[in-house]
Chain A
Amino acid sequence: MSETPAAPNEPDQAGERHTYILFMVAGTTYAIRSQQVLHMEMVEHVTPVPNAPVFVEGVVFSRGQVVPVVNLRARFGFQRSKLDLRTRLLVVQNDARRVALLADEAREFVPIAASSIHPPNEAIGGLSGNYFEGVATLGERIVLILNIREVVETIPTAAA
């Protein structure tokens, strides 16, 4: 599919700046480059897949494709919570794969300058594995930048 000439992430004078989508998982704010997100959906029905890894909520049809749903709470080692009206599926593209990430809620688009993203420090790294690639501070808030590749690629042997 082709893009219009004006993509939303042109560099500006202040340095590289990308649009991110912010979402919440178990009280923490995470961010993904909006470019990586194909679209967001409300959760209508997730078909469970028996014998799939524990963090896989199931599958959905998204735009006619069969897409696995990764429950980020389960992925990060938190308690699952009930799906509700605020729950969102973020359908992301990683190479040829298309995976839906289940987040508690996702509402904001924000531009984040590359210069304000710092590598994660060791202490935070322990919280949710290697699933994020940086930390950004937005005013009062701390935002963890998600590493999609790690989230969808790594299949822990314990769950397989």
Chain B
Amino acid sequence: MDDYFAEAEEHIIAVRRSLLALEASIGSNLPLPVLEELFRSFHSLKGISAMVELREAELLAHEMESCLRLIREGHVAVTSTNFETLVDGAKVLEAVVVAHRSGQPVPPVGRVLEQLESLARPAATKSAVVRGSVGSGESSKAGADRAVWRVTFTPSPELVARGVKVDTVRSRLLQIGQVLSVAPKVVPGGGVSFEFDVETDRDQELATWKEDGLTYEPLRTGLNAEASESDADRNSGVTELSTVPEISQGIATSGRTNFVRVDLARLDDLMRLAGEMVVTRARLEATLQRVERHVPFQEWRDLQEHSAGIERQLRDLREGVMRVRLVPIGEIFRRMPFVVRDLARDTGKRVQLDLAGQATEIDKFLIERMMDPVLHLVRNAISHGIEPSDQRIAEGKPPEGTIRLSAATAGESVVLEIADDGTGIDVQDVAERARTRGMSVPDGPIDARTLLDIICAPGFSTRDEADRGSGRGVGMSVVRRTVEELGGALGVKTEAGRGTTFQITLPLTLAITDAIIAHVGEHTFAVPQSAAREVIEVETTALRSIERNELLAYRGGTLPVIRLAQLFSIPVQDRPRFHAIVVGTGLAAVGLLVDRIAGQREIVVKTITDPLIHVHGVSGATELGDGRLVLILDVFALSRTARDRPHQIEGVSA
């Protein structure tokens, strides 16, 4: 985010400079380089704002960009009034960014957007203004003579079979009036509908299209109505479903009240509780084994059965909590039409976007982190994959390229695919470039895995100069790292002339927890926060040895301590004081002695399954961002060790 502010500020400074230069030339010849620079600045601002989901800034930059394009192309003159509008736009844009940085509410952008749009209006009557998924709080502008209707079109296979598609609807609407905006909407159940705001006085024709999946309602008859979903849209931390059916009266209204917004932290709490119950049940199980021979067989069998029942129910409970965290992957897809249209326009390519499987559900945590990688792959597909129309025609392909975004659940995983029908990756060329860059590439045919290794190598780009579209933000190496850090895998399939498909496989959900990070000698460990009661400082002189235990006076009683250095045979220097992480309660309480506490943070838990590293006292592993692996301690196993030590050989659990 800091990167964003730094970059945004640079662009805003450039904008101010350029605007000053522009002002000097009002009434005389337009300095094209200045316009170009302004255009580029706003384009960049739009891109980076889209990436951090600062929608107001994105929208403003988009409108400024549109105005500048019209000015550059000579459709709109720079009068002093128009210039003031541009200056206002830049000011508000800056205010939006500043407010966002300081955590203040973002200032309203509706008025200046209206002005910008009316500036662009005279020249823009022929083309639809597409606003993608951006909240359309500004839809109440436009000339006052014609009514504005919100027309909702919900595609269905039957309609497609009859030849009624979004494009059909759009061209029909264009015939009867002016399309002010188009916004795709995810409807409950995973479909998508499109909301066209249309200015027309021929609304009677709308009625004749009811059969074709269209519903409509007046949005403005005079100058009153103000659509206001932008507030809801802005609040993207919460699952969005509940806000969708607000406007349309037709097909999409069912079930509008059946959604609850829940803070993710509460779900984390539930998940943690469920996790703790699992541990408790494991203890119960262990106790059961011990008492088996003291209990009559019939009684014991009943106990055993109940215990097994609890285990089943616990598993269901955890799954249930996990499912609540799942949200439709449409949240990622929703943004893409906008991105695709913009980039297609910039590159002069014709691109159609197909979406499939938006209803596929995935952990909210993953959704937020997958946005940038998917965005990057889509941008790549347009910049590098899809060929220009004339080339496509020459190759016997449809002039319009297709990017297909699809999602599907496969067992415990979700598979996301970003496929294009473009030129494919020139594997030999890629290998050649890799070799000239000194990467070790095996001779002979390159398989998919090697190809992926090469294109995801840091600093490797298939174009010598990254272009505007794909060359910003995250690179392929970051895409891969992000996916893999989330416990997923990235794959690629490519066929010369037929296209490229990137496949992202992700776990359905992740165990995320807070942990205390502690150092022992040169080692770092993580202790789940939920298991830790407190952290105390311990003077070495306060430790008392009794038999083979070391004890510490603690809250009027004694607390057995485990020196992690000793347990794990880690060489450490004697030190006057330690930190002790107190884990467990009552008789099970034990202090884990570490050299020092590095802090507390959220970690993604990866389980350790391989028998070679499945050792007592270690429950999993995590990574703290530096690529190094940190072991997560199994505090329950460790506290058992402490209690059992007088009777057990160290390191072997009961």
Chain A residues packing against B (C-beta within 8 Å): 1-4, 6-8, 19, 34, 38-39, 44-45, 47-53, 56, 58-61, 63-68, 70, 97-99, 107, 109, 152, 155
Contact = CB atoms under 8 A, between A and B. Distances in A.
B449 A38 contact: yes
B453 A39 contact: yes
Nearest to A21: B442
B144 interface: no
A61 B629 contact: yes
Given A61-B623, A64-B485, A8 B610 contact: no
Given A39-B453, A109-B443, A44 B613 contact: no
Interface of B: 427, 440, 442-449, 451-453, 480, 483-489, 491, 493-494, 503, 523, 567-570, 606-613, 615-618, 620-621, 623, 627-631, 651
A49 B613 contact: yes
A144 to B, nearest CB: 21
A49 B488 CA distance: 24
A106 to B, nearest CB: 10
B448 A2 contact: yes
Nearest to A2: B493
Contacts of B629: 45, 47, 59-61, 66
A64 B170 CA distance: 45
Contacts of A8: 442, 444-445, 447
Nearest to A64: B484
Nearest to B524: A47
Contacts of A38: 449
A6 B483 CA distance: 26
Given A49-B618, A51-B615, A155-B611, A34 B442 contact: yes
Nearest to B626: A45
Contact of A70 (B503, B608, B612): B612
Contact of B613 (A6, A45, A68): A68
Contacts of B523: 47-48
A6 B611 CA distance: 35
A160 B299 CA distance: 38
A-B pairs, 8 with minimum CB distance: A64-B484, A50-B568, A1-B491, A6-B445, A68-B612, A47-B629, A109-B442, A68-B613
30 contacts: A1-B449, A4-B446, A4-B451, A6-B447, A19-B442, A38-B449, A44-B627, A47-B629, A49-B615, A49-B618, A50-B567, A50-B570, A50-B615, A50-B617, A51-B568, A51-B651, A52-B612, A59-B608, A64-B484, A65-B487, A65-B606, A66-B609, A66-B610, A67-B610, A68-B612, A68-B613, A98-B610, A107-B440, A109-B442, A155-B611
Given A52-B613, A61-B627, A2 B567 contact: no
Contacts of A152: 612
B621 A66 contact: yes
Contacts of A2: 448, 491, 493, 503
